[in-house]
Chains A and B, each alone.
Chain A
Amino acid sequence: MQKQVERLKRQDAVFWLVGLGSLLFALITLLSLIVDMAMTGWPRISAAFFMSFASRFPEKAGIYSAWVGSLTVVMVTAMLAIPLGVATGIYLEEYAGKNWLTKLIEINILNLAGIPSITYGLMALGIFVYHFQLGQSIITAGLTLGLLILPIIIVTTREAIRTIPSHIREACYALGSTKWQTVWNHILPYSSGGILTGVVIALSRAIGETAPLLTVGALTFIAFLPTPPVMAEPPFVSFQWLLDPYTVMPIQMFNWVSRPQEEFHVNAAAAGLVLLTMTLLLNATAIYIRYRFRRKYKW
């Protein structure tokens, strides 16, 4: 008896070691990468770095067009993917009948979330660039990334909705609510924490994506900003910026890394540091939103 307990205890200790080892391995690798990048890139970080365009002189080059590009592209992505994804999630969860067709759609959406991102780039090249003649523009990039993160938003929306207990739904219907009243007054507010978390995480993935944008031809030398969306003379707003060429942070990095001069690699590290900070900030926002809503809605 005692022998067996000891044997089991040894087993426990072994697993503890293995688990800790794997954790440390992942952590140390990641940390050393980050620290290395931060050490290399940090000296380059300055106001001028943010406000300078790409240049063939490494010490003059900056990420102005890249961060503006990232921001505008992500904006277009969000405008496409959030309404479409959330509406689809609500439809599938609350409106669609439960039959083999919805099952099939469900499985396919899950599959879409796992497709390599370059496939989306190829599809976008065919549809947006060649067929719709949108060119190498911000709108092409936004639509491509929007499609890429659409399944993620659909899946997280559905998961968020599913955490609402059915007895809350029944309480609402029992009062004579229509489906839309139930969705608008209850389902959406109670699941908005989960949905927002999913949206932010999906957007932070979109910010870091490179491959699909390379496919639609984003790898260009951009030393100017897109057309401003507001003008001094009527009609005051302009959507020309949607059709302007662009570059984004990860592509700017890729661009610099592939140059032979060592100084450009420093720039790449600095840009990487900025990109990483942007992503971490977004993820932190997601965690904060989730925390806030968990406290607000308890069943």
Chain B
Amino acid sequence: MVEKLKKAEVLNLSFGYSPAVKVIRSINLPIYQNKVAALIGPSGCGKSTLLRCFNRMHDLYGQVKYEGEIKLYPESVNILSTTVDPIEVRMKVGMVFQKPNPFPKSIFENIAYGLRVRGIKKRSYIDDKVEDSLKKAGLWGEVSARLHTSAAALSGGQQQRLCIARALATEPDLLLLDEPTSALDPISTAHIEELLAELKKSVTILMVTHNLHQAARTADYTAFMYLGDLIEFGESDQIFTNPKEQRTENYITGRFG
């Protein structure tokens, strides 16, 4: 059997905004390359908090202290280390949020922005990258004729795919999705789920979701969290059909949460 390649690994991670209250405790979790991993669990279990450690979003809200590590491979750097700049981390780890949040600029500028932040000015390169990212996000056909019109005019589902394209344009090592479909209608949701299967060929995906069916359908691996602890992690098939932990079973069968 071939050893599965790890893209990242969470090692004994605890985090909380105040030292006394830990929102997540001693998490250990491998993230496999070119796979989709889902974080599930009831509201307040710490899954979004864990996700937002991966791109150091917590650093935006004051002095925070991470205990433990998140290693990013193949460089094997601890991205939570105080010597690593959060901006460097965000250059490598893209994120898509719960609510579609395009900038109030044109479709083109939304996607080009990540490149501009990196100091890329070459017009032809940006043009290619915008087209490429929109194609990957399955939006090119719908917007190719109006790239320079406002992104605000797009529908919610289109806006969310635009946000995915925006995150893809900078070729991240890891793509974080924070409940990417919870604000969308079923058709747009299906669209994005199909997209994930295609995207994982080129990028590793870590996704928080409230929708268990979504995790079962799209994720290769699933981690169940409860009250700040990681209860169980495994292949989605196993988690959803044959969970080892009683609490996991209770949650996926809808007995609580």
Contacts and interface: CB of A to CB of B under 8 A. Distances in A.
A224 interface: no
Which of A97, A173, A186, A298 lies at the interface centre, i.e. has the most chain B CB atoms within 10 A of its CB? A173
Interface residues of B, number: 26
B152 interface: yes
Interface stretch (B21-29, B68-76, B97-105, B222-230): B97-105
B17 to A, nearest CB: 13
How many residues of A sit at the interface, in one of the four size bands? 20 to 34
Given A176-B87, A176-B91, A178-B87, A170 B170 contact: no
B203 to A, nearest CB: 15
A167 B103 contact: no
A173 B97 contact: no
A5 interface: no
A172 B105 CA distance: 13
Contact of B114 (A98, A176, A190): A176
A185 B113 contact: yes
A281 interface: no
Given A298-B104, A298-B152, A299-B104, A177 B95 contact: no
B90 A172 contact: no
Contacts of B97: 167, 170-171, 174
A168 B103 contact: yes
Interface string B49-68: 00000010100101000000
Contacts of B113: 172, 175, 185
A169 B61 CA distance: 12
| 6 closest A-B pairs by CB | A176-B91, A174-B95, A176-B90, A175-B114, A167-B101, A171-B101
Given A169-B60, A171-B101, A297-B104, 12 more contacts: A165-B101, A167-B99, A170-B60, A170-B101, A171-B163, A173-B57, A174-B57, A175-B170, A176-B88, A176-B114, A177-B117, A296-B104
Interface of A: 97-98, 165, 167-178, 181, 185-186, 190, 296-299
